[in-house]
Amino acid sequence: GCAFALSIDEQFSVTLLEKKSKTELGPDWIDGFDKQLIEDYEISKYVEKLSDSFGQRFYSPDGMTSIAAPLSERIEIDRKILAQNLISALNEKPNITFIENATVKSALIENNFVVGIKYKLDNQEHTINSKLVVDATGYPAVLRKNLAEIYGFTKDIEKIDTFLTFRKYITRPTSLTTNEHKIFFGRHRGISWINSEMEDLVDLFAGVPSFADHINPKEIVQELENQLKEECHSQIDLKPVRANYPGIIPTRRCLDSFCENGFLLIGDSACQVEPLSGSGIASGMLAGYLAAKIVNSLLQSGQKLTKANLWQYNYEWIQKTGAQYASIDIFRLFLLSRSEEDYNFLIRKRIITENDFKNSLTGKKIKLGFIEILRRLWRGWTRLGLLLALKRAINDANKFKTIYLNYPESYDKELFEPWQQKKEDILRKYYKKVKNFNK
Protein backbone atom coordinates (compact mmCIF):
# COMPACT_ATOMS: atom_id res chain seq x y z
CA GLY A 1 0.00 0.00 0.00
CA CYS A 2 2.82 2.40 0.88
CA ALA A 3 4.72 1.57 -2.33
CA PHE A 4 1.57 2.41 -4.32
CA ALA A 5 0.90 5.68 -2.47
CA LEU A 6 4.53 6.82 -2.80
CA SER A 7 4.51 6.11 -6.55
CA ILE A 8 1.35 8.13 -7.24
CA ASP A 9 2.02 11.45 -8.93
CA GLU A 10 1.95 14.36 -6.45
CA GLN A 11 -0.86 16.11 -8.35
CA PHE A 12 -3.27 13.40 -7.11
CA SER A 13 -4.23 13.03 -3.47
CA VAL A 14 -4.03 9.72 -1.63
CA THR A 15 -5.43 8.72 1.76
CA LEU A 16 -3.87 5.73 3.51
CA LEU A 17 -5.96 4.06 6.21
CA GLU A 18 -4.14 1.79 8.64
CA LYS A 19 -5.77 -0.07 11.49
CA LYS A 20 -2.59 -0.05 13.59
CA SER A 21 -0.66 2.93 14.89
CA LYS A 22 2.42 4.06 12.93
CA THR A 23 4.82 2.81 15.60
CA GLU A 24 3.33 -0.70 15.53
CA LEU A 25 3.96 -1.13 11.81
CA GLY A 26 6.25 -3.77 10.33
CA PRO A 27 6.57 -7.32 11.65
CA ASP A 28 9.27 -7.57 14.32
CA TRP A 29 11.69 -9.74 12.38
CA ILE A 30 14.30 -10.03 9.63
CA ASP A 31 13.28 -11.27 6.19
CA GLY A 32 14.79 -12.28 2.87
CA PHE A 33 14.09 -9.72 0.14
CA ASP A 34 14.17 -10.40 -3.64
CA LYS A 35 15.89 -7.15 -4.50
CA GLN A 36 16.22 -7.81 -8.23
CA LEU A 37 12.42 -7.58 -8.58
CA ILE A 38 12.41 -3.85 -7.85
CA GLU A 39 16.01 -2.70 -8.22
CA ASP A 40 15.26 -0.76 -11.43
CA TYR A 41 12.54 1.29 -9.76
CA GLU A 42 12.61 4.27 -7.45
CA ILE A 43 10.82 2.42 -4.64
CA SER A 44 13.99 0.37 -4.07
CA LYS A 45 15.47 3.35 -2.22
CA TYR A 46 13.27 2.60 0.82
CA VAL A 47 14.79 -0.86 1.24
CA GLU A 48 17.83 -0.96 3.50
CA LYS A 49 20.10 -3.99 3.37
CA LEU A 50 20.94 -5.50 6.73
CA SER A 51 23.21 -8.19 5.28
CA ASP A 52 23.66 -10.49 2.31
CA SER A 53 21.31 -13.45 2.16
CA PHE A 54 21.79 -15.99 4.94
CA GLY A 55 23.21 -19.18 3.45
CA GLN A 56 20.63 -21.95 3.69
CA ARG A 57 20.95 -25.67 4.17
CA PHE A 58 17.86 -27.81 3.60
CA TYR A 59 17.55 -30.87 5.83
CA SER A 60 15.34 -33.86 5.20
CA PRO A 61 12.52 -34.10 7.81
CA ASP A 62 14.45 -36.83 9.68
CA GLY A 63 17.45 -34.48 9.85
CA MET A 64 19.73 -37.20 8.43
CA THR A 65 20.73 -35.59 5.13
CA SER A 66 20.96 -32.10 3.78
CA ILE A 67 21.68 -30.07 0.67
CA ALA A 68 23.00 -26.54 0.57
CA ALA A 69 20.79 -24.12 -1.33
CA PRO A 70 22.89 -22.06 -3.75
CA LEU A 71 23.48 -18.55 -2.47
CA SER A 72 20.63 -16.41 -3.67
CA GLU A 73 20.60 -12.80 -4.80
CA ARG A 74 18.27 -12.00 -1.95
CA ILE A 75 19.28 -9.64 0.81
CA GLU A 76 18.19 -9.63 4.43
CA ILE A 77 16.14 -6.68 5.66
CA ASP A 78 14.72 -5.63 9.02
CA ARG A 79 10.96 -5.25 8.53
CA LYS A 80 10.70 -2.62 11.29
CA ILE A 81 13.27 -0.46 9.48
CA LEU A 82 11.47 -0.89 6.13
CA ALA A 83 8.18 0.20 7.74
CA GLN A 84 9.80 3.25 9.33
CA ASN A 85 11.52 4.24 6.04
CA LEU A 86 8.19 4.05 4.23
CA ILE A 87 6.41 6.08 6.92
CA SER A 88 9.11 8.79 6.84
CA ALA A 89 8.79 9.01 3.04
CA LEU A 90 4.98 9.24 3.30
CA ASN A 91 5.29 12.05 5.85
CA GLU A 92 7.25 14.11 3.34
CA LYS A 93 4.64 13.86 0.58
CA PRO A 94 2.18 16.76 0.61
CA ASN A 95 -0.42 14.79 -1.37
CA ILE A 96 -0.60 11.85 1.08
CA THR A 97 -2.74 11.74 4.23
CA PHE A 98 -2.05 8.86 6.61
CA ILE A 99 -4.83 8.02 9.05
CA GLU A 100 -3.68 5.57 11.72
CA ASN A 101 -5.93 3.42 13.93
CA ALA A 102 -8.55 3.48 11.16
CA THR A 103 -10.17 0.15 10.33
CA VAL A 104 -11.58 -0.21 6.84
CA LYS A 105 -14.92 -2.01 6.86
CA SER A 106 -16.47 -2.07 3.40
CA ALA A 107 -16.54 -0.58 -0.09
CA LEU A 108 -19.10 1.86 -1.45
CA ILE A 109 -20.51 0.95 -4.85
CA GLU A 110 -22.48 2.98 -7.37
CA ASN A 111 -23.45 1.88 -10.88
CA ASN A 112 -21.07 -1.08 -10.80
CA PHE A 113 -18.14 1.17 -9.78
CA VAL A 114 -16.30 1.19 -6.46
CA VAL A 115 -16.57 4.83 -5.39
CA GLY A 116 -15.23 4.87 -1.83
CA ILE A 117 -15.04 3.10 1.51
CA LYS A 118 -16.47 3.03 5.01
CA TYR A 119 -14.04 2.94 7.92
CA LYS A 120 -14.10 3.09 11.69
CA LEU A 121 -12.03 5.48 13.77
CA ASP A 122 -12.53 6.23 17.50
CA ASN A 123 -15.66 4.08 17.46
CA GLN A 124 -17.27 6.23 14.81
CA GLU A 125 -18.07 5.33 11.26
CA HIS A 126 -16.70 7.53 8.45
CA THR A 127 -16.81 7.42 4.67
CA ILE A 128 -14.40 8.58 1.98
CA ASN A 129 -15.28 8.96 -1.69
CA SER A 130 -12.57 8.41 -4.28
CA LYS A 131 -11.85 7.65 -7.92
CA LEU A 132 -10.00 4.50 -6.89
CA VAL A 133 -9.97 2.18 -3.87
CA VAL A 134 -6.98 -0.10 -3.27
CA ASP A 135 -7.15 -3.12 -0.99
CA ALA A 136 -3.64 -3.65 0.42
CA THR A 137 -4.80 -5.14 3.73
CA GLY A 138 -2.65 -8.25 3.36
CA TYR A 139 -3.97 -11.72 4.17
CA PRO A 140 -7.31 -10.47 5.65
CA ALA A 141 -8.15 -8.94 2.21
CA VAL A 142 -11.02 -7.03 3.79
CA LEU A 143 -12.38 -5.41 0.62
CA ARG A 144 -11.72 -8.38 -1.67
CA LYS A 145 -13.97 -10.43 0.62
CA ASN A 146 -16.50 -7.64 0.81
CA LEU A 147 -16.67 -7.42 -3.00
CA ALA A 148 -16.29 -11.14 -3.72
CA GLU A 149 -19.92 -11.82 -4.51
CA ILE A 150 -20.46 -8.78 -6.69
CA TYR A 151 -17.30 -9.09 -8.77
CA GLY A 152 -16.50 -12.80 -8.51
CA PHE A 153 -13.24 -12.44 -6.58
CA THR A 154 -12.11 -15.48 -4.60
CA LYS A 155 -13.59 -14.86 -1.15
CA ASP A 156 -11.74 -17.24 1.13
CA ILE A 157 -8.65 -18.90 -0.16
CA GLU A 158 -8.42 -22.66 0.34
CA LYS A 159 -7.05 -23.94 3.63
CA ILE A 160 -4.32 -25.89 1.85
CA ASP A 161 -3.15 -22.58 0.37
CA THR A 162 -2.87 -20.98 3.79
CA PHE A 163 0.37 -21.21 5.71
CA LEU A 164 0.20 -20.81 9.50
CA THR A 165 3.41 -19.62 11.11
CA PHE A 166 5.02 -18.91 14.45
CA ARG A 167 8.28 -17.05 14.85
CA LYS A 168 10.44 -16.19 17.81
CA TYR A 169 13.94 -14.76 18.33
CA ILE A 170 16.06 -15.57 21.35
CA THR A 171 19.44 -14.27 22.44
CA ARG A 172 22.18 -16.37 20.88
CA PRO A 173 23.39 -18.85 23.54
CA THR A 174 27.12 -18.44 24.25
CA SER A 175 27.51 -22.23 24.15
CA LEU A 176 26.20 -22.43 20.56
CA THR A 177 29.02 -23.10 18.13
CA THR A 178 27.14 -23.39 14.81
CA ASN A 179 26.54 -20.58 12.33
CA GLU A 180 23.95 -22.03 10.04
CA HIS A 181 20.48 -21.46 8.62
CA LYS A 182 19.17 -24.98 9.10
CA ILE A 183 15.88 -25.49 7.28
CA PHE A 184 13.78 -28.61 7.91
CA PHE A 185 11.97 -29.19 4.67
CA GLY A 186 8.76 -31.21 4.81
CA ARG A 187 8.77 -31.75 8.57
CA HIS A 188 5.13 -31.79 9.76
CA ARG A 189 4.32 -31.14 6.08
CA GLY A 190 5.72 -27.63 6.38
CA ILE A 191 8.97 -25.80 6.89
CA SER A 192 10.77 -24.96 10.10
CA TRP A 193 14.18 -23.54 10.83
CA ILE A 194 16.84 -22.64 13.30
CA ASN A 195 18.87 -19.74 12.00
CA SER A 196 22.04 -19.19 14.01
CA GLU A 197 23.83 -17.06 11.42
CA MET A 198 23.36 -13.84 13.36
CA GLU A 199 25.90 -12.60 15.88
CA ASP A 200 23.47 -11.92 18.69
CA LEU A 201 20.20 -13.70 17.87
CA VAL A 202 18.77 -17.08 16.94
CA ASP A 203 15.66 -17.10 14.74
CA LEU A 204 13.21 -19.97 15.36
CA PHE A 205 10.47 -20.35 12.77
CA ALA A 206 7.80 -22.90 11.92
CA GLY A 207 5.11 -22.87 9.26
CA VAL A 208 2.54 -25.50 8.28
CA PRO A 209 -0.28 -25.64 5.73
CA SER A 210 -3.65 -25.24 7.39
CA PHE A 211 -4.80 -28.88 7.01
CA ALA A 212 -7.63 -30.00 9.30
CA ASP A 213 -5.26 -31.90 11.62
CA HIS A 214 -2.31 -29.51 11.40
CA ILE A 215 0.06 -29.24 14.32
CA ASN A 216 0.27 -25.83 15.99
CA PRO A 217 3.44 -24.15 14.63
CA LYS A 218 4.15 -22.81 18.13
CA GLU A 219 4.60 -26.43 19.26
CA ILE A 220 7.09 -26.99 16.44
CA VAL A 221 9.05 -23.96 17.64
CA GLN A 222 9.12 -25.58 21.10
CA GLU A 223 10.55 -28.73 19.45
CA LEU A 224 13.22 -26.53 17.84
CA GLU A 225 14.03 -25.07 21.25
CA ASN A 226 14.61 -28.58 22.62
CA GLN A 227 16.79 -29.40 19.63
CA LEU A 228 18.82 -26.26 20.29
CA LYS A 229 19.21 -27.16 23.97
CA GLU A 230 20.63 -30.53 22.95
CA GLU A 231 23.00 -28.86 20.51
CA CYS A 232 24.23 -26.51 23.24
CA HIS A 233 24.53 -29.28 25.86
CA SER A 234 23.32 -26.79 28.45
CA GLN A 235 20.43 -24.70 29.70
CA ILE A 236 19.73 -21.77 27.40
CA ASP A 237 17.73 -18.59 27.82
CA LEU A 238 14.54 -19.07 25.79
CA LYS A 239 13.04 -15.68 26.62
CA PRO A 240 11.75 -14.11 23.39
CA VAL A 241 13.59 -10.94 22.37
CA ARG A 242 11.80 -10.28 19.06
CA ALA A 243 8.52 -11.38 17.41
CA ASN A 244 7.03 -14.30 19.41
CA TYR A 245 3.73 -14.28 17.59
CA PRO A 246 1.86 -16.14 14.85
CA GLY A 247 1.35 -15.04 11.26
CA ILE A 248 -0.53 -16.19 8.16
CA ILE A 249 0.71 -16.28 4.56
CA PRO A 250 -1.43 -16.97 1.46
CA THR A 251 0.90 -19.44 -0.27
CA ARG A 252 -0.56 -19.92 -3.73
CA ARG A 253 -0.41 -18.49 -7.24
CA CYS A 254 -1.87 -15.01 -7.63
CA LEU A 255 -5.57 -14.33 -8.16
CA ASP A 256 -6.73 -14.40 -11.79
CA SER A 257 -7.32 -10.63 -11.80
CA PHE A 258 -6.43 -7.79 -9.43
CA CYS A 259 -8.78 -5.11 -10.73
CA GLU A 260 -12.39 -4.02 -11.08
CA ASN A 261 -14.07 -0.72 -11.93
CA GLY A 262 -12.50 1.76 -9.49
CA PHE A 263 -10.76 -0.97 -7.52
CA LEU A 264 -7.36 -2.67 -7.21
CA LEU A 265 -5.79 -5.40 -5.10
CA ILE A 266 -2.11 -5.21 -4.17
CA GLY A 267 0.16 -7.60 -2.25
CA ASP A 268 -1.03 -10.50 -0.10
CA SER A 269 -4.68 -9.51 -0.66
CA ALA A 270 -4.08 -10.55 -4.31
CA CYS A 271 -1.92 -13.57 -3.27
CA GLN A 272 1.09 -12.01 -4.99
CA VAL A 273 3.56 -14.22 -3.13
CA GLU A 274 6.14 -16.79 -4.15
CA PRO A 275 4.20 -19.90 -3.12
CA LEU A 276 7.00 -22.16 -1.84
CA SER A 277 8.83 -19.66 0.36
CA GLY A 278 5.87 -17.36 1.08
CA SER A 279 7.93 -14.32 0.08
CA GLY A 280 5.72 -11.39 -0.81
CA ILE A 281 7.47 -8.17 0.19
CA ALA A 282 9.32 -7.33 -3.03
CA SER A 283 6.58 -8.72 -5.30
CA GLY A 284 3.97 -6.67 -3.40
CA MET A 285 6.09 -3.53 -3.69
CA LEU A 286 6.55 -4.23 -7.40
CA ALA A 287 2.76 -4.52 -7.74
CA GLY A 288 2.28 -1.19 -5.93
CA TYR A 289 4.73 0.51 -8.27
CA LEU A 290 3.30 -0.99 -11.49
CA ALA A 291 -0.28 -0.21 -10.47
CA ALA A 292 0.56 3.41 -9.60
CA LYS A 293 2.33 3.93 -12.92
CA ILE A 294 -0.79 2.84 -14.82
CA VAL A 295 -3.15 4.83 -12.57
CA ASN A 296 -0.99 7.97 -13.05
CA SER A 297 -1.12 7.68 -16.80
CA LEU A 298 -4.90 7.03 -16.86
CA LEU A 299 -5.65 9.98 -14.59
CA GLN A 300 -3.27 12.28 -16.48
CA SER A 301 -5.01 11.50 -19.76
CA GLY A 302 -8.45 11.94 -18.17
CA GLN A 303 -9.49 8.32 -18.61
CA LYS A 304 -11.77 6.47 -16.21
CA LEU A 305 -10.31 3.82 -13.91
CA THR A 306 -12.35 0.97 -15.36
CA LYS A 307 -11.46 -2.70 -15.13
CA ALA A 308 -10.52 -2.69 -18.82
CA ASN A 309 -8.23 0.32 -18.39
CA LEU A 310 -6.58 -1.05 -15.25
CA TRP A 311 -6.07 -4.51 -16.78
CA GLN A 312 -2.56 -3.67 -17.95
CA TYR A 313 -1.49 -3.90 -14.28
CA ASN A 314 -2.61 -7.57 -14.17
CA TYR A 315 -0.70 -8.25 -17.35
CA GLU A 316 2.54 -6.53 -16.35
CA TRP A 317 2.75 -8.07 -12.88
CA ILE A 318 2.06 -11.56 -14.24
CA GLN A 319 4.69 -11.13 -16.98
CA LYS A 320 7.30 -9.80 -14.57
CA THR A 321 6.90 -12.41 -11.85
CA GLY A 322 3.43 -13.97 -11.54
CA ALA A 323 4.02 -16.58 -14.27
CA GLN A 324 7.19 -17.78 -12.56
CA TYR A 325 5.42 -17.94 -9.18
CA ALA A 326 2.55 -19.89 -10.77
CA SER A 327 4.94 -22.61 -11.92
CA ILE A 328 6.38 -22.84 -8.41
CA ASP A 329 2.83 -23.35 -7.14
CA ILE A 330 2.54 -26.63 -9.06
CA PHE A 331 5.69 -27.81 -7.36
CA ARG A 332 4.24 -26.79 -3.97
CA LEU A 333 1.05 -28.76 -4.67
CA PHE A 334 3.12 -31.77 -5.71
CA LEU A 335 5.03 -31.63 -2.41
CA LEU A 336 1.82 -31.28 -0.37
CA SER A 337 0.71 -34.74 -1.45
CA ARG A 338 3.96 -36.37 -0.31
CA SER A 339 4.83 -38.06 2.97
CA GLU A 340 7.79 -37.19 5.21
CA GLU A 341 9.35 -40.46 4.01
CA ASP A 342 9.11 -39.17 0.42
CA TYR A 343 10.88 -35.95 1.41
CA ASN A 344 13.61 -37.94 3.18
CA PHE A 345 14.04 -40.03 0.07
CA LEU A 346 14.06 -37.11 -2.38
CA ILE A 347 16.79 -35.35 -0.42
CA ARG A 348 18.77 -38.44 0.65
CA LYS A 349 18.99 -39.79 -2.89
CA ARG A 350 19.58 -36.33 -4.30
CA ILE A 351 16.55 -36.66 -6.57
CA ILE A 352 15.96 -32.99 -5.78
CA THR A 353 19.26 -31.19 -6.27
CA GLU A 354 20.77 -27.80 -5.50
CA ASN A 355 20.30 -26.90 -9.16
CA ASP A 356 16.56 -27.63 -9.03
CA PHE A 357 16.22 -25.19 -6.14
CA LYS A 358 18.24 -22.64 -8.03
CA ASN A 359 16.34 -23.05 -11.29
CA SER A 360 12.94 -22.94 -9.65
CA LEU A 361 13.81 -19.79 -7.73
CA THR A 362 15.55 -17.93 -10.55
CA GLY A 363 12.88 -18.52 -13.14
CA LYS A 364 14.71 -21.03 -15.32
CA LYS A 365 12.82 -24.07 -16.50
CA ILE A 366 13.67 -27.25 -14.60
CA LYS A 367 14.53 -29.79 -17.27
CA LEU A 368 14.26 -33.51 -16.77
CA GLY A 369 15.41 -34.91 -20.11
CA PHE A 370 16.07 -38.56 -20.94
CA ILE A 371 19.68 -38.66 -19.68
CA GLU A 372 18.78 -36.78 -16.52
CA ILE A 373 15.90 -39.19 -15.86
CA LEU A 374 18.27 -42.14 -16.22
CA ARG A 375 20.76 -40.50 -13.89
CA ARG A 376 18.15 -39.89 -11.22
CA LEU A 377 16.54 -43.25 -11.84
CA TRP A 378 19.87 -44.81 -10.96
CA ARG A 379 19.74 -43.06 -7.61
CA GLY A 380 16.04 -43.56 -7.01
CA TRP A 381 14.86 -46.64 -8.89
CA THR A 382 13.30 -48.16 -5.77
CA ARG A 383 10.73 -45.37 -5.84
CA LEU A 384 9.96 -45.26 -9.54
CA GLY A 385 6.38 -44.00 -8.93
CA LEU A 386 7.67 -41.03 -6.97
CA LEU A 387 10.21 -40.18 -9.64
CA LEU A 388 7.61 -40.31 -12.40
CA ALA A 389 5.22 -38.15 -10.37
CA LEU A 390 8.04 -35.63 -9.93
CA LYS A 391 8.72 -35.68 -13.67
CA ARG A 392 4.99 -35.06 -14.36
CA ALA A 393 4.95 -32.18 -11.85
CA ILE A 394 7.96 -30.56 -13.51
CA ASN A 395 6.32 -30.85 -16.94
CA ASP A 396 3.06 -29.43 -15.58
CA ALA A 397 4.91 -26.59 -13.83
CA ASN A 398 6.56 -25.61 -17.11
CA LYS A 399 3.20 -25.85 -18.96
CA PHE A 400 1.52 -23.79 -16.25
CA LYS A 401 4.13 -21.05 -16.59
CA THR A 402 3.52 -20.90 -20.35
CA ILE A 403 -0.24 -20.50 -19.73
CA TYR A 404 0.45 -17.54 -17.43
CA LEU A 405 2.87 -16.00 -19.93
CA ASN A 406 -0.06 -16.10 -22.36
CA TYR A 407 -2.33 -14.19 -19.98
CA PRO A 408 -4.69 -11.96 -22.05
CA GLU A 409 -3.05 -8.61 -22.72
CA SER A 410 -6.34 -6.74 -22.53
CA TYR A 411 -9.66 -7.48 -20.84
CA ASP A 412 -11.83 -9.57 -23.10
CA LYS A 413 -14.22 -12.06 -21.53
CA GLU A 414 -14.00 -14.23 -24.64
CA LEU A 415 -10.25 -14.64 -24.10
CA PHE A 416 -10.15 -14.54 -20.31
CA GLU A 417 -12.60 -17.37 -19.58
CA PRO A 418 -10.85 -19.93 -21.83
CA TRP A 419 -7.54 -18.85 -20.23
CA GLN A 420 -9.00 -19.57 -16.78
CA GLN A 421 -10.29 -22.92 -18.01
CA LYS A 422 -6.85 -23.97 -19.28
CA LYS A 423 -5.16 -23.37 -15.97
CA GLU A 424 -8.01 -24.96 -13.98
CA ASP A 425 -7.56 -28.15 -16.05
CA ILE A 426 -4.04 -28.51 -14.63
CA LEU A 427 -4.86 -27.34 -11.11
CA ARG A 428 -7.88 -29.60 -10.59
CA LYS A 429 -5.89 -32.85 -10.49
CA TYR A 430 -3.35 -31.43 -8.03
CA TYR A 431 -6.00 -30.16 -5.62
CA LYS A 432 -7.76 -33.51 -5.78
CA LYS A 433 -4.54 -35.32 -4.95
CA VAL A 434 -3.61 -33.02 -2.08
CA LYS A 435 -7.09 -33.24 -0.57
CA ASN A 436 -7.23 -37.04 -0.86
CA PHE A 437 -3.76 -37.39 0.63
CA ASN A 438 -4.54 -35.12 3.58
CA LYS A 439 -8.09 -36.29 4.34
Ligand X SMILES: Cc1cc2nc3c(=O)[nH]c(=O)nc-3n(C[C@H](O)[C@H](O)[C@H](O)COP(=O)(O)OP(=O)(O)OC[C@H]3O[C@@H](n4cnc5c(N)ncnc54)[C@H](O)[C@@H]3O)c2cc1C
- Interface residue with ligand X among 273, 286, 298, 318 (CB under 6 A) is 273
- Interface residue with ligand X among 6, 7, 31, 289 (CB under 6 A) is 31
> Between residues 219 and 372, which has the closer beta carbon with respect to ligand X?
219
Measured CA to CA, the distance from residue 219 to residue 188 in angstroms comes to 11
- Interface residue with ligand X among 261, 279, 327, 337 (CB under 6 A) is 279
18 binds ligand X (CB under 6 A): yes
> Between residues 74 and 338, which has the closer beta carbon with respect to ligand X?
74
Site string for ligand X, 91-110 (x = CB under 6 A): ------------xx------
Measured CA to CA, the distance from residue 248 to residue 191 in angstroms comes to 14
User: In the range 231-260, which residues lie near ligand X by CB under 6 A?
Assistant: 247, 249
Check if the beta carbon of residue 82 is closer than 8 Å to that of residue 47. yes
User: 160: Cβ–Cβ under 8 A, 6 or more apart, which residues?
Assistant: 209, 210, 211, 336, 431, 434, 435, 438
Check if the beta carbon of residue 391 is closer than 8 Å to that of residue 346. no
360 binds ligand X (CB under 6 A): no
Q: Compute the CA torsion angle 328, 333, 334, 336 (nearest 10 deg).
A: 130
- Please name which of 320, 316, 335 lies closest in space to residue 277, comparing C-alpha atoms: 335
User: 242: Cβ–Cβ under 8 A, 6 or more apart, which residues?
Assistant: 28, 29, 168, 169, 201
Start-to-end CA distance of the chain, whole Å, equals 37
Q: Give the shortest CB-253-to-ligand X separation in angstroms.
A: 14
Measured CA to CA, the distance from residue 4 to residue 134 in angstroms comes to 9
Q: Give the shortest CB-136-to-ligand X separation in angstroms.
A: 5
CB under 6 A: which stretch of 16-24, 298-306, 328-336, 417-425 binds ligand X?
Answer: 16-24
> Between residues 79 and 399, which has the closer beta carbon with respect to ligand X?
79
Q: Give the shortest CB-348-to-ligand X separation in angstroms.
A: 27
Residue environment code for 196-221, b if the CB has 16+ CB neighbours within 10 A, otherwise e: bbbeebbbbbbbbbbbeebbebbebb
- Interface residue with ligand X among 61, 173, 186, 278 (CB under 6 A) is 278
5 binds ligand X (CB under 6 A): no
- Interface residue with ligand X among 9, 12, 15, 19 (CB under 6 A) is 19
How big is the chain, counted in residues?
A: 439
Measured CA to CA, the distance from residue 202 to residue 228 in angstroms comes to 10
217 binds ligand X (CB under 6 A): no
280 binds ligand X (CB under 6 A): yes
Q: Give the shortest CB-372-to-ligand X separation in angstroms.
A: 31
Helices and strands counted in the chain (H then E): 12, 18
CB under 6 A: which stretch of 272-280, 317-325, 341-349, 391-399 binds ligand X?
Answer: 272-280
**Which amino acid makes up residue 37?**
L
- Interface residue with ligand X among 267, 322, 380, 408 (CB under 6 A) is 267
CB under 6 A: which stretch of 173-181, 271-279, 320-328, 343-351 binds ligand X?
Answer: 271-279
- Please name which of 280, 369, 406, 275 lies closest in space to residue 330, comparing C-alpha atoms: 275
Measured CA to CA, the distance from residue 409 to residue 412 in angstroms comes to 9
Check if the beta carbon of residue 305 is closer than 8 Å to that of residue 131. yes
Q: What is the DSSP letter of 353?
A: -
Q: Give the shortest CB-422-to-ligand X separation in angstroms.
A: 27
Q: Give the shortest CB-174-to-ligand X separation in angstroms.
A: 27
264 binds ligand X (CB under 6 A): no
Site string for ligand X, 123-162 (x = CB under 6 A): -------------xxx-x-x--------------------
281 binds ligand X (CB under 6 A): yes
Measured CA to CA, the distance from residue 136 to residue 177 in angstroms comes to 42
Q: Give the shortest CB-271-to-ligand X separation in angstroms.
A: 9
**How many positions of this chain bind ligand X (CB under 6 A)?**
30
Q: Give the shortest CB-71-to-ligand X separation in angstroms.
A: 16
Check if the beta carbon of residue 397 is closer than 8 Å to that of residue 371. no
Q: Give the shortest CB-301-to-ligand X separation in angstroms.
A: 28
> Between residues 90 and 282, which has the closer beta carbon with respect to ligand X?
282
203 binds ligand X (CB under 6 A): no
Measured CA to CA, the distance from residue 363 to residue 407 in angstroms comes to 17
List interacting residues with ligand X (CB under 6 A).
1, 17-20, 25, 31-33, 103-104, 136-138, 140, 142, 165, 167, 247, 249, 267-269, 273, 278-282, 284
